Structure formats: C-alpha cells, structure tokens
Structure 1
C-alpha cells in the first residue's frame, strides 16, 4: 500500500509552529534583571568614544576619500587621457556598484560566520591596494576592470556595531559591518550620534579631497595630476586597515582598553538594551524571518530611493565645470558641498537626541534638501557661464549622506538576531547598489549641463522616500501598540520592566533572538 502523504504538509507546519514557540520560550528564559552602576557606564562610553569610534571614523574617512576621487579626476584629465567617449564614464561609475552588488551575497554569509573585525580589516587593506591600481590604467577597459574589483573588495568591508547580529551602512561591506559594530558596542539611543560621526566623514572627505586635488594640480609633477590621489589615498587606506585589524576588539569581553569591571558593565548595558553578542553562526530560521518580513523590503526601498540621488555628488564637478568654471576654480567652488553634507548629517543626529522619537520625522525633513536641489538644478535659468544658483543647487542636491545615516541608524536599532541583521543590512546595501548602478545612466553626456533626466529621477526618488518613511512610522507604531497591549494584560514576556523600580529587564547577551521573538523589544522611530 502506498504511504499516505496527505498530512505531511500539516505536520511540517505544526513542527515549524513548535520550533517558533520554543524560540519564544527561550527568549523568556534568557531574561534577567540588571542594576548598572551609571558612573562606570559613563566611563565605559567615554572609552568607547575614544577607541571604537575613532577607528570607524578613520576607516570611513579614507574609504570615502578614495571613492570620491574619481569625481575630481574626471576634470583633471582622466577623461582625456583614457580617451573616454559617450557613456563610458557613466559605466565606470556604475561598474563600481556592480562589483559591490556581486560581493553582497558572499559578504553577507561571511559576515555571519567569521569575526567581523578581522574580516573588515582585511577587506580594507585589499580595497586600498586595488584603489592604487587606478593610477596605472590607460584605457576604458582597464578603468572598468579596476572599478569593478574595487567595488567587489569594498563590498566586503562595510556599516554599525551592535550587540545584535551583524548588519551591513553605507555602502559596501564597511557600511554593513559598521552598522553591526555600532550596534554591538552602543545602546540604541546612542546610535544616531555615533552613526552620524562616521557617516559625516563623507563631507569632510569631500572637502579635503577637493583641496588635495587642487594642490596636486598646481604642483609640477611628472605623473598626471589625476593619478597621484589614487596612490596617496589607497596607501593610507591600506595602512588604516592594518590599524583596524590590530586595535578593534571583537566584543565587550575582549575590549583591551576596559578594566574587568568595565567590561562587565559594557556587557550588562547591552543586555538591558536587549542586544546580543556577535555570533559566527548562520541561522536558517532567521534568514526565513528576514525574507518574509515586510520591514525588510521597506528598508530596501529606502536604500534604493536614497541612492538614486547620489550621481549629483559624483557629477558635481562635471556639472560646475560645464557651466564655465576653470578646472581649479571648480574644485574650490565645489568644496562647500562637503560642508552641506556634514551639517545635514549632524542635524539628522542631534534633533532625535533632543526630541526622542523624532528620527524618522527628521529624515523626512532632510529628504526635502536634495529634493529642492534637484528641482533648482533642473529649473534655474542660466546664461553663458556658470551661475551661482546652479552651483548651490549641486550643493543641496548632493546632501544624501544624512539620509543614509538615518536609514542605517534605524536598521541598527530595530533589527535583532545575528543572521537576520546580516541579511537585512545586506539587502539594504544590495538595494543601495542597484540604485547606484541604475542612476548614473540617467546622467548622459548629451544631457549636459542641465542633466534633466537625472534630476527628474532624483525628484521622483525623494518623493517616494518620503512616502516610505511615512508608511514605516505607521507600521512600527502598530507593532509597538500590540506589544504594549499584551504587556498591560500581564504577559511577562512582553514587559519592558517589572514596574517596581527594582531594575530593568534585559536579555542575555549570549542569546540570539530576533526582534520578532523578543516580545519585550520595542521598535524605535
């Protein structure tokens, strides 16, 4: 007689339900109460800000300095020396992100299986070495190949330290990794300022890069002016990678700069924040949860909308130069764009600090800045030479770093589970890469200097981003409301504290529960 398979599907569903119930029961059993010495905690945070944060800042600064060098090189002879024609420069820009995209899957897997500090440090060294190779290219084929491998190597470096599982922030592996790192060392309310600190290096790198290119261009060198910055920046980046490998501890228990008591407090404060340690284990259940969660796809939509505006940053020198400024004056006139980026990133961090719960609302307001810049760039009149209104429009249009910072901070604060965080952050940066691959193709040479198609794309993307942020607020508030209702009905697994002032409930840092399984977790806005 043939076996009866009619109930197999139901049995599998029942087994999955049992597994889910067991994970939720484990989440309750992993709950503890902690009373933390706040004076020691303040000392711990100061030490973190003196060691962990500067390392991330240094890496992010040099990586972005590398990344934006091609913007200045374009008007210092790169196009002419390599005989670039038609859309070849646009493809050179896109190929970097295609390389990133190809590396995201292996990067996401490796980030959840290997110690993040060693992994990130090695990829930083590789990134710097590949960047130096750009100084040796002599045609489009060479430029395209090196740009692709540059993106592939950087796609394994990014990010935010979170005791929650690994998360992929701003672009490539470093951003995702920095999202994890930030979440592994800092409590959720501390994320916006720390993320802003390293993301704001975009603006600083833009300013210093322009001034460096100006100085090199004025010098009398046998090497073409556009080649030197790739050698200088690449070498410094590799050196920074070595520092990262030797100085960045894996987690709170291996922090060489903390005393034993401080390491204990550093661990406990993350437990109270319902964060967990970095785990080198891949969890298939968390993978499924991440892929089926609507919030994952909302994060992806945020990523692609933000990056559809980024070509303004990469083409700003070309745009300004096309309106009549000399090569050297273009460098100086474009420098304030970095300051605008720096300022908006810090606005996005400080306002939520002053007004808790205002992070997403602040991001909505900051979305208006690049939206306005794109509208002005497309509509302002010009005649003859460059017009200051157009120049200011490029400054405003390129202010997307604050939005990347906000999105990365939101992910770091609201996603739990080692594998889930890795998958969500990697998905965010895949969307980021897709946007960066597609958007340069709207900035065609025959559309210069107005670049109307690119501006229209940026305007549509910012409008969509604002709607996405609004939808996210409604979703998160609904989830929190349902959990608060369960807590008020006496379900202990939903309670944030026990209500008698005797301490706050925390989850064991050695557990690996997701934000769905940890019922006492509350999403932040």
Structure 2
C-alpha cells in the first residue's frame, strides 16, 4: 500500500519524473509506463507538432465515438426502458394479474433498489478491480435473463424476488459506465459524451412507449399483455450484453487504434489526472474520501435528486389521473420523453461548445422542472384542461439533464481508483435509499397525488441549492491550491498526469483542479 502523503505539505514525485522515467516503485496505473517513456516528447512539441497532435487526438476521439459511444448509448437506453417497463406494465393488467393490493405496487417498485443497495459491496470490488467492459457485459446479460424471468411471476412474492435480483445485478452498471467513459475521453469531452448517452433515456423511452403501445394490443392466451413487454426487452438486453463482451477495457487494449494512437490515447486521459485503470484497492483512499467535503456534498445532492425519481414508477398513473384512458395515457406521456431527450441534446451541444458546464447543468435544468410541477400541483383541484396539465407535466422531465451532469462531475473530480470507486459506491447507496423512499411519497389507491408533487417541488429546490454550494466550494478550493502551489503550467500538468497514473488522489496531486 502506498503511504499517504499530504500533498499540501510535500511533493512525493520528483520533478525529474516528467523527463525520463520508465516506471516508479509502488502502485502505478497500467498506462504509466507508456506515458512516462514519452513524457519528454510530450513536453517539447513545436507549435506545428502540437497542431498535428490535436488533429490526431480528435481523430482518436472520433474512433471512440464510432466504436464505443454508440454502444454506451444503447446500453443506457435499454437499461432505462427496462426499468420503465414496470410503469408500462401497470397499464395492462400487471397489478390485477399479480393480485397486488394496497402499497404492494410501491413495494414492488422499491424492491429493485433494495437489491441495488445490497449489490454495492460487490459493485465496489468489480468497479475497482475487474475489466469494466466485461463487468458491463455480464451485468447486461444477467439483467436480460431476469427480465425474461419476470414473465413467469404469478404473485407478489415472486415479483419481489425477481425485482431484488434485478437491482442486485444492475448495481455495477452505472459506476462501471462512468469510469469507462472517463477512461477514453478527456475532461473537456467527458461531459458532452455523458450527456449524449444520457439523452438515450428519453429517446429510447419515446420509441419503446410506441412499442409498448403496440404490444399492449396483442391478444394471446399464451402471454399476458404486459408479459410481451418483458419478453422483447429481455431479449434485447441479453443480446446487447453479448456485444459488450468484445469491447476494449482500456485505450491500450483498443484493437482499432494503431500503436501511435494508443500512446496518444493514454496521454489524452492521463492529463485528466485520474488515471486509466488500476488493479489494487488502497484503503487509505477511503479515508481520503471521508475527509473530503466534496464527498458529502455529492451524496447529499444525490439524495435530494433521487427521491423525486419515484415519479418514474408512477408517471403513467399521474398522467391518467388527469382524465386519460390507458392507451391515451401512453401517448400523452410521449412529449415528456421529447423534453428529456431534447434537453439533454441541447445541453450536450452547449457543454461541447462552452466546456463542461457541470454545476450549471446541475442547477439550471431544474428551473422549468420546478415551474412545471408547481403548475401541476396548483391545478390539482378545479376543472382544469387535462392537456394543459399534461403540458406542465412534460416540463418536469427537464430535470433529467441534472443526473448525467452529476455523473460527469463524479467521473473527473475524484482521483484515485479506490477513492473514486468508494465515492461511486457511496453515491449509489444513497441513490438506492432515495429511490426506495421515492415511491412511498405517492399514496396508494388514490388519483390525487398533490402531496407527492409538493414534496418533489421542495426536493428540487434543495437540490439546486446544494449544486450552487458545490460550485462555490470548487472555486474556493481551486483558488486555494493556486495560492499554495502556483498556477498549473505545462510542466505541472505533466507531473500531475504522472501522479494520476501512480494512483494518487485529487488531494495528493497538487496539480489537480476541480472542473466545474
């Protein structure tokens, strides 16, 4: 285990490491050797060579987009609609066929997150130590198999068991995908790519709502109406998992890159100062996270962001309470997906043009969401047009933008493989707890959801305040490091990259600065 060094008191890596060192003693990233061997070249490029390097870097990013980003998009989209399947199934006799009464539907919805919570310890291990593409592949195949198993559920107990296992098997997926994105893209590219694959939630929901609409019309004694939804989604999930098995786990393993491109790919992400991939769990980094104020701000943000997510299991019931029948409820909910996907794409374009915009993206999209849900709440009583209420409801989905921005923040603002994995695990524990609570803010057997809507308004407001505090803290912390260690120049960037490849945390690395 590497001895913990307070980076505000001393530098553990000598300045000469940037110039001509192949490897250092102790724990290093698998990309360290490549970066160290070429560090001297990196630091002495002419302007013409730098322009040529930037062209090659963009070409490499384009290859990653072609070979990897598309698969990330399919993964996120399919995973989201798998979870949305419950909201569609409830419109086609799901509660009646499984004999659910009282709060049992809420328990079925929440049980997924009990499994998700239980899966955090193995998820932490898998994310920190195992090849990420293989973790995602196995997760997706298991998920698909369990989606197919859902068709055989006959009662509340069976459904609870399957939902628990679904949550347990999905636990490694989000941290693995965030880490995977950070392995291949620079800090500047990370936010826009995260938003692109995040936009697939709304896009796939839009497409598969129409698919669910069609499947709901199937009349066949062999399968219940809602079971057809699980059959189609389960098969798609399993096939997608098989595809992920053949993707590279790190840039070094990417067969579609030349040897020169692999060196450039390592340099690109090394200068994120978060490393590429390590194989050792260092427990001192857990203590480093527990002393970090950003850790607590991050998990607080997740809690207040995720309790309102209970709306995802009740969205069709809320819309139907406006006065729509089962099929028109599906159609009336479609524009919500357009708002979600459109907002994510628009913010993705903005992030690509102006930079990360992480904390701004964690606050500003909440404004239309707060306005929309407040309007729906205010029109609970009285004879108000159902389409007017539906329009206000559509605006709520702009809050979907905040989660990919938060994920991008986690991916680049915590360095050290064990520390980042621990932060992911902690975030997902809180994520699970909040999603367990979320469905229970909605009353059972009631078409009036005003109390739940009021709670969501309050949580959105607190979520926005926490994001503002996070931005102010990052600004203060970066300026403090500048005062203590000076501005980060090219030499300091290279030293910081090497420290990142030695699995140093953001606190240990004096060249590390928050991206906000």
TM-score by length of 1: 0.87
| Aligned match of 1:402 | 401
CA-CA distance at 1:28 after TM superposition: 5.3
Structure 2 distance, partners of 1:29, 1:87, is 64
C-alpha separation between the residues in 2 aligned to 1:204 and 1:29?
50
Matches within 5 A, 1:471-482: 471-482=469-480
Query: How far apart are 1:220 and its partner, in Å?
Result: 3.0
Query: Does the aligned pair in 1 maintain the 2:110–2:439 contact within 8 Å?
Result: yes
Query: Is the CA contact 1:380–1:389 (under 8 Å) kept in the aligned structure 2?
Result: no
- 1: CA distance between counterparts of 2:410 and 2:180? 13
- Tell me, yes or no, if the aligned pair for 1:217 and 1:225 is still in contact at 8 Å: yes
Q: Any idea what the Cα deviations from partners look like across 1:318-373, whole Å, max 9, x if unmatched?
A: 11223321211111111111111112222333333333364312321111232223
How far apart in 2 are the matches of 1:293 and 1:507? Answer: 21
Matches of 1:92 and 1:104 in 2, distance apart? 20
- Partners of 1:27 and 1:303 lie apart in 2 by 38
The CA distance in 2 between the partners of 1:250 and 1:267, in whole Å, is 13
Tell whether the 8 Å contact from 1:309 to 1:370 is kept in structure 2 after alignment.
no
Note if contact 1:348-1:406 (Cα within 8 Å) is conserved in structure 2: no
Distance 1:273 1:421 in 2: 13
For residue 484 of structure 2, the aligned residue among 476, 481, 486 is: 486
- The equivalent of 1:26 in structure 2 is 13
Instruction: Identify the match of residue 468 of structure 2 among 467, 470, 483.
Output: 470
Cα distance in structure 1, aligned partners of 2:5 and 2:361: 41
Aligned to 1:97: 113
Tell me what 2:127 maps to: 111
Aligned partners of 1:324 and 1:385 also within 8 Å: no
Q: Partner of 2:55 in structure 1? A: 39
Q: CA–CA distance in 2 between the matches of 1:306 and 1:342?
A: 18
1:456 positional shift: 1.9
Question: 1: distance between equivalents of 2:443 and 2:170?
Answer: 26
1:305 equivalent in structure 2:
304
Where do 1:26-175 residues align within 5 Å?
A: 26=13, 30-31=17-18, 32=39, 34=42, 35=45, 37-155=53-171, 173-175=172-174
Q: Which residue of structure 2 lines up, in the alignment, with residue 523 of structure 1?
A: 514
Any residues of structure 2 matched to 1:277-426 within 5 Å, and which? 277-356=276-355, 358-381=357-380, 387-426=386-425
C-alpha deviation, 1:126, in angstroms = 0.5
State the Cα distance separating 1:42 from its structure 2 match.
1.4
Match of 1:163 in 2: none
Pairwise CA distance, 1:385: 9.0
Q: 1:69 to 1:18 in 2, by over 3 A?
A: closer
How far has the Cα of 1:420 moved from its partner?
0.7
Name 1:205's counterpart in structure 2. Answer: 204
Structure 1: stretches of 5+ with no match in the other structure: 1-14, 156-172, 489-493
The answer as to whether partners of 1:94 and 1:437 remain within 8 angstroms in 2 is yes
Structure 2: distance between partners of 1:350 and 1:185: 19
TM (norm. structure 2) is 0.89
- State the alpha-carbon separation in 1 of the partners of residues 17 and 131 from structure 2: 24
Distance apart, 1:221 and its partner CA: 2.4
C-alpha change, 1:290 and 1:29, in structure 2 (3 Å) is: farther
Q: CA deviation at 1:304?
A: 1.0
Alpha-carbon shift at residue 380 of structure 1 (Å): 1.3
> Aligned residue pairs: how many?
484
Cα distance in 1 for residues equivalent to 2:432 and 2:385? 32
Q: Does 1:496 align with 2:489?
A: yes
Runs of at least 5 residues in structure 2 that lack an aligned partner in the other structure? 19-38
- Cα separation, 1, equivalents of 2:16 and 2:241: 40
Question: Partners of 1:29 and 1:242 in 2: how far apart?
Answer: 45
Tell me what 2:502 maps to.
511
Q: Judge conservation of contact 1:90–1:444 (CA < 8 Å) in 2.
A: no
